Amino acid sequence: MKNSEPSVYFIGAGPGDPELITVKGMKAVERADIVVYAGSLVSERVLDYAKKGAEIHNSASMNLEETTKVIIDGVKAGKKVARVHTGDPSLYGAILEQIAPLEEAGISYEIIPGVSSAFASAAYLKAELTLPEVSQTVIFTRVEGRTPVPEKERLSELAKHRATICIFLSVGMIDKVVSELLQGYPEDTPVAVVERVSWPDERAITGTLKDIAQKIKDAGIKKQAMIIVGDVLKSVVSGQGSGVRAKSKLYDKEFEHGYREKK
């Protein structure tokens, strides 16, 4: 049981649409005296939830030491702080390095999850990331760029599972992405690239591993895009309906569970 309200909230604001922030996240922003938000990725419309007179900091031009100082100085002055991230803070959110100095200073905090761009992209595509007898596993990953990736987690190794893969922060290296994926998937595997999902200018480019790289270059997509690959997208790419090969047991009338008898 929580003894008191935390001094700092790390909030996942979702992929772009300000209405995709959770109710809990919105209320935390409303209560905050100081809001530090990732302005390069978080919509400024999220700031509409902030109370009048709240101190606002755009962290796009700030380094870790600068954001930490704003947060700790604010808490020492008796203020509540909302640190607003894009998507969900637990995915490529770099929150542990922000939390460490707070713990050293004895400052209480809470993490409020958010809607990931992976899930928003699936919704935009009207797709399901898991389908019976197609894929029951979803992998979240990225290719190696300036941030290294463990050898065993290279995209070429993950591709061998032939599961659904959601690839973050990698569209600028689409040739490398495709090259590594082809070490596990056939070239006719469907791919969707969703740019700026849930923003007003969102769009999706679909294809296969054979042609997606050229399509992305032709479209001029270089950043802020989610890449999803796997056979669960066959219906999305082909445009031929739901593409369900086998129904789940969840709503099968022959399937009995604790809340429903078999009919």
Closest alpha carbon to 230 in 134, 158, 143 = 134
pLDDT greater than 90 at residue 261: no
Tokens of 142: 């990225």
Read off the pTM. 0.88
Q: Quickly state the pLDDT bin for 252 (edges 50, 70, 90).
A: low
Distance CA 244, CA 250 (A): 14
3-state secondary structure 162-176: CCEEEECCCHHHHHH
Dihedral sign (CA 24, 29, 32, 35): positive
Domain ranges in the chain with CATH number 3.40.1010.10: 8-112
Domain ranges in the chain with CATH number 3.30.950.10: 117-238
Distances (CA, A) of 88 to 26, 113, 141: 14, 5, 14
Query: Which CATH architecture fits 8-112?
Result: 3-Layer(aba) Sandwich (3.40)
Q: Which fold has domain 117-238?
A: 3.30.950
pLDDT tens sequence across 153-202: 999 999 999 999 999 999 999 999 999 999 999 999 999 999 999 999 99
Q: What is the mean pLDDT of the chain?
A: 91
The count of other CB atoms within 10 Å of the CB of residue 76 is 11
DSSP states of 46-57: GGGGSPTT-EEE
Distance CA 42, CA 98 (A): 18
> At 87, which amino acid appears?
G
pLDDT greater than 70 at residue 242: no
